[in-house]
Structure 1
Amino acid sequence: MKLSKVVLTGIAGLMSLALAACGGSSNGGSGGGGSQTVFKLAFNQTEEHPQYKAAVDFGKKLEEATDGRYSVRVYPNEQLGTQSDVVQNLSNGTVEMMYIGGPVMEGFNSDFIVYNLPYMFAGYDAQQQIFNDEELNKDLFTSIEGSKNITVLTALYAGVRNVYNSKHAVVTPSDLQGLKIRVQQSDSQVSMIESMGAIASPMGQGDVYSALQTGVLDGAENNETVYHQLKHDEVAKFYSFTKHLMIPDYLLISTKALEGMDDADREAFVGLVPELREEANTGFLEFAKESRAASESGGAQFNEDVDVDAFKALVQPMVESAVSANDVRKALYDAVQAANAAHPA
């Protein structure tokens, strides 16, 4: 059975669930008193994040739906390693599931870059239209099953990313000159922040706080939830709404683990994904508001007075070069532009 048919139906948002093979717990269900399989799910953020909460709820529902045959354990706070490390473990099967930032996926199939480009989506509704489109994304989401043993289950809303630093508010590109800004570990993110005027410093999320604290970094770029939950607001007080990215997070699973489920359990697994996505995405919108208020109460300064058009102009050549590379990227880009027209900011 082709996984794209089974996995991608309604799956634009499954979240950080942890399932790991762990045998032997009796559940008294219809599994004949047999063992339970627990998938490990790796997550690089905290237990307060809506994706974590949605994944935990998903695990409970999965256990009930499969009469105890399957469950999930979520490992937050990079307990299983950085995203770059864990995705290799997912590929070799020692971890079954993970949440991952979109840019990391470019290392496996460079066409993922389209959804990671700066100023790609007009807003939340436009992005959701794209990730609700199974037909548009099925080839991309199953493109690394053969080479890496990884299936993309869904794409999740991960907020709007902005620049923050320890020096001053950012209004124009000149304000980024000379600042060392952490980006995710991908070529497109390095190119983006350098085009915007800063010095790019690719780094795992777990190292950012100490690097900000010691001055190895001047700043970073992320959404309000990460800024507050990882306490970056303690060491980088100036948060400016450059609004340069609306990249998705993805929920991944080992293709082998997914194929190893019998048809009924796999159907139950897939059927729960839309609920997880809805819980996570809705929770994220509220979480971002709460995070900003908490950061402000701690003394962080939020700057809305940003020349967004100036930053957008600087990165436009990068966008045009990336999307013109092949027909796959052009088709994805054209679909995004149609969604943006239907849902303008």
Structure 2
Amino acid sequence: MGNRAFASSDKIDGAGHRVLTASDVHVTDYPTVEAVRWIGQTLERETGGRLKIRLYHSGQLGREAEAIDMARYGVIDITRVFSGALNNAFPLTQALCLPYVFDSIDHMRRVIDGDVGDEVLRSFETRDLVGLAIYDSGARCFYNTKHPIVEPEDLHGLKMRVAASDIFIKLVRLLGANPTPMSLGETFSAMETHMIDGAENNMRSFHSSRHFEAARYWSETRHSYAPDVLIMSRESFLSLTPSDRELLVRVARDSVPVMRAKWDESEGVARKAVLEYGIKTNDVDLPAFHKAAQPLLDEYHQKPDIEALYRRIRDLA
């Protein structure tokens, strides 16, 4: 792969210290980016500079799907990705992405901080990755250029950007819209040129990607709280000494409350900013959305591993 030479040249700096490369598609002040930056600063401080992170944000190293592959093959060391992008290769992540599996941010955090979160993180070892931490990705809602969405019928005929995840594609289709998988970076121009009518994402990304400048209607469907995941190349992880592996895992887990504090603060700032811009927000008929999404849940209830995780998640509601 062409990027391998780039990555290998980054492994050791001029002082002979180990440099881990990390990537994220989000902007420099996004909470997940700041959390990984904090990990790097902590590692550097605790090892006297022997271990550090070089962070590439804003999609400098490509899209999330590409970052997953680069991590699997050791081209980069660490990447933060949306759990939906992991669904096909790592099936246990599907349980975290099902519609209305989580009732709230607090519910999602309780789940992630317990045995379910640990089990999902361990599952990455099956395909050349190490799960380091699970981060928030907020309440995902629909936004569009046409009109408020109050009932599922209001989505009928709309072309909506979704992440490249079977669950999100099927959900949007069930709700009557036309799902259009594309990267976050392509979405703004696609709305401006009327290739699509809208998208679904969290408020923080709606603001940081400036999608609010193209889509004036935000509808509080809260259909998913699917989290983000921080993953690492297993090859890179095993190349560290046992004590450095232990340190990295500990610091990554310690970064979760750092990320959450930044998330809670910045989500409030983002909501205030888009409201001041003139974005129209509205509540929705949640029972109608739950009912419309039920066939998708019924499909995944037939998968024993997913059903078992689903039940454990609901038990913590």
The TM-score, its normalising length taken from structure 2, stands at 0.94
Map of 2:227 onto structure 1 = 248
Matches of residues 174-253 of structure 1 in structure 2 within 5 Å? 174-253=153-232
CA distance in 2, matches of 1:276, 1:140: 18
Map of 1:111 onto structure 2 = 92
What secondary structure does 1:226 align onto? helix
Map of 2:44 onto structure 1 = 63
CA distance in 2, matches of 1:122, 1:310: 16
When residues 54 and 138 of structure 1 are mapped into structure 2, their CA distance, relative to the original with a 3 A threshold, is closer
CA distance in 2, matches of 1:289, 1:62: 30
Q: Report % sequence identity.
A: 27
Match of 1:143 among 115, 118, 123: 123
Match of 1:23 among 4, 12, 21: 12
Greater Cα offset, 181-190 or 270-279? 270-279
The answer as to whether partners of 1:100 and 1:249 remain within 8 angstroms in 2 is yes
What secondary structure does 2:316 align onto? helix
Matches of residues 42-53 of structure 1 in structure 2 within 5 Å? 42-53=23-34
Map of 1:311 onto structure 2 = 289
Map of 1:257 onto structure 2 = 236
CA distance in 1, matches of 2:97, 2:9: 30
Post-superposition CA distance 1:3-30 (Å, at most 9, x none): xxxxxxxxxxxxxxx998432332xxxx
Post-superposition CA distance 1:69-102 (Å, at most 9, x none): 2111221111111101111111111011101111
Match of 1:323 among 282, 301, 307: 301
Map of 1:30 onto structure 2 = none
Map of 1:131 onto structure 2 = 112
How far has the Cα of 1:111 moved from its partner? Answer: 2.8
Letter in 1 for 2:270: S
CA distance in 2, matches of 1:269, 1:19: 20
Map of 2:62 onto structure 1 = 81
How far has the Cα of 1:68 moved from its partner? Answer: 1.4
CA distance in 1, matches of 2:314, 2:207: 32
How far has the Cα of 1:137 moved from its partner? Answer: 4.2
CA distance in 2, matches of 1:125, 1:192: 23
Map of 2:102 onto structure 1 = 121
Post-superposition CA distance 1:114-150 (Å, at most 9, x none): 110011101122211211124x44443233424x311
- Aligned-residue Cα RMSD (Å) equals 1.7
CA distance in 2, matches of 1:179, 1:296: 23
CA distance in 1, matches of 2:165, 2:8: 27
How far has the Cα of 1:332 moved from its partner? Answer: 0.7
Letter in 2 for 1:324: Q
Match of 1:333 among 298, 301, 310: 310
The answer as to whether partners of 2:90 and 2:124 remain within 8 angstroms in 1 is yes
The TM-score, its normalising length taken from structure 1, stands at 0.86
Give every structure 1 segment of 4 or more consecutive aligned residues whose post-TM-superposition deviation is greater than 4 Å.
none
Q: How many residues align?
A: 311
Match of 1:157 among 106, 117, 136: 136
How far has the Cα of 1:175 moved from its partner? Answer: 0.9
CA distance in 1, matches of 2:10, 2:122: 23
Please tell me whether residue 94 in structure 1 is matched to residue 69 in structure 2: no
Letter in 1 for 2:213: E
The answer as to whether partners of 2:131 and 2:229 remain within 8 angstroms in 1 is yes
Map of 2:3 onto structure 1 = none
The answer as to whether partners of 1:43 and 1:78 remain within 8 angstroms in 2 is yes
Letter in 1 for 2:60: Q
Map of 1:273 onto structure 2 = 252
Letter in 2 for 1:22: K
CA distance in 2, matches of 1:20, 1:325: 44
CA distance in 2, matches of 1:117, 1:24: 43
